[in-house]
């Protein structure tokens, strides 16, 4: 399979038509080999317009190229900024972010996925992989200019917003159903405002499930 051609097709047919116009994002998506971050059994679908499972049984995915690209576009990441990548899985998202930001902290709570991410990202000096609960973030590495959730949250990510620097942005798909709203949270002083951006689907991340409510 010609993965370089598939990568170009993904960008030209999925990402660019979705109004992702930042040339740095386009270049990063063309440079990072998405197929290397999934199991061999999933490499053939690595560039399709789907949430691609990273392995046969992990339940974790690489976000759809359109959703991932549009979240990056909305984040407006600068070359000097510090980014927290929540739920980095095998490291694909962090590899792309490393080409846009100054420093990237890649957070993963699954030990096997964290080991895979560390191996996949070993050649990137501006990325550090940390292991811990996703919903807790990584406050020791903050504050962050940008926080990106690699999946859906059923709840407002208040603990993560607290780790934003002033004028920081948090990007996530928010919703209790499979299809939610991509949302940007912006911090100004002690205040955080949320703005919905576009409809988006994504699997819910561990630790971001809304608690069950009991009705009497």
pLDDT band at 99 (very low <50, low <70, confident <90, very high): very high
Distance in angstroms (rounded) separating the CA atoms of residues 9 and 19 = 15
Nearest to 208 by CA among 164, 181, 169, 172: 172
Full set of structural domains in the chain with CATH? 3-201 (3.40.50.150)
SS3 of the chain: helix, strand, coil, percent, to 5: 35, 30, 35
Query: What is the arithmetic mean of pLDDT over 88-109?
Result: 98
Please state, in angstroms and rounded to a whole number, the distance separating the CA atoms of residues 41 and 18: 28
Entry pTM: 0.94
For the chain, give the mean pLDDT.
Answer: 95
């Amino acid at each position: 399979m010609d993965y370089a051609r598939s990568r170009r097709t993904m960008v030209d047919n999925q990402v660019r038509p979705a109004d992702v116009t930042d040339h740095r994002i386009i270049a990063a998506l063309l440079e990072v080999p998405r197929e290397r971050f999934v199991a061999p059994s999933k490499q053939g679908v690595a560039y399709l317009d789907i949430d691609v499972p990273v392995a046969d049984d992990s339940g974790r995915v690489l976000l759809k190229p359109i959703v991932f690209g549009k979240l990056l576009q909305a984040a407006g990441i600068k070359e000097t900024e510090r980014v927290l990548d929540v739920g980095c899985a095998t490291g694909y998202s962090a590899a792309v972010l490393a080409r846009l930001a100054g420093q990237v902290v890649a957070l993963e709570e699954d030990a096997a996925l964290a080991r895979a991410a560390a191996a996949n990202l070993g050649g990137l000096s501006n990325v550090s992989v940390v292991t811990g609960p996703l919903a807790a973030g990584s406050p020791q590495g903050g504050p962050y200019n940008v926080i990106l959730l690699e999946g859906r949250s059923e709840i407002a990510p208040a603990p993560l917003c607290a780790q934003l620097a002033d004028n920081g942005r948090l990007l996530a798909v928010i919703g209790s159903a499979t299809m939610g709203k991509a949302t940007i949270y912006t911090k100004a002083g002690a205040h955080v405002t949320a703005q919905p951006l576009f409809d988006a689907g994504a699997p819910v991340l561990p630790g971001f499930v809304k608690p069950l409510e009991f009705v009497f």
